[in-house]
A and B are shown apart, each in its own frame.
Chain A
Amino acid sequence: EIVLTQSPATLSLSPGERATLSCRASQSVSSYLAWYQQKPGQAPRLLIYDASNRATGIPARFSGSGSGTDFTLTISSLEPEDFVVYYCQQRSSWPWITFGPGTKVDIK
């Protein structure tokens, strides 16, 4: 099983600041990595797929990078609605997809 580790567990920032979230895989997943955003009481929403492609309707302030085992989600300037939880997910080993434990972005 490919294990994903996310850091930090919690990121405390202010609106307008830049957020950098990390996801590390226990073995190479090539570029087969996605990022999801989950707001309280809602289903996850796909933000980024194949490490760096924004999903339909996702604002340009969200960007992804990385390959192999190290990946980054960057939010260039935090909006109030961005202070929620983010998960990474690998699809390198379908059907054995796995999610990271999540990073919570909260208001400083």
Chain B
Amino acid sequence: EVQLVESGGGLVQPGGSLRLSCAASGFTVSSNYMSWVRQAPGKGLEWVSVIYSGGTTYYADSVKGRFTISRDNSKNTLYLQMNSLRAEDTSVYYCARAPTERDPYYYMDVWGKGTTVTVSS
């Protein structure tokens, strides 16, 4: 079964750090575009970061310089290292797959259930 399972969320103080994980099953992370998308309480969806199949990474301006996306191919797992966290980073964080080798090309067709990050003192 194709599945993504996030973990690592929690309560952290402003300025703190957290590392999110997204374990994939049923497909290979490194063969797809893998993104993090977040959703603040009661708000819409915001793209955060992507790692391409070739390893290139990109970030939204709101997190650039603070967040780092990576993957471990041996564990088939995606990560998001979040540093210098701010109250406005409080959100549910979803990982999502965008296939590059078949339809729906480059659209996020598999999502995890999300992990909640709360930044508060």
**Chain A contact residues, CB within 8 Å of chain B:** 34, 36, 38, 42-46, 49-50, 53, 55-56, 87, 89, 91, 94-102
B94 within 8 A of A: yes
Q: How far is the CB of A98 from chain B (nearest CB, A)?
A: 7
Decide: B113 and A42 in contact? CB cutoff 8 A. yes
User: Which of B13-21, B83-91, B100-108 faces chain A?
Assistant: B100-108
Separation of A98 and B62 alpha carbons in the complex (Å): 13
Number of interface residues of B (CB under 8 A): 22
Asked if residues B46 and A49 are in contact (CB atoms below 8 Å), the reply is no
Decide if B104 touches A94 in the complex (CB within 8 Å). Answer: no
* B104→A50 contact, CB < 8 A: yes
Across the interface, do A55 and B109 meet the contact criterion of CB distance under 8 Å? yes
Nearest neighbor of A50 in chain B, beta-carbon distance: B104
| A99 engages B45 (CB within 8 Å) | yes
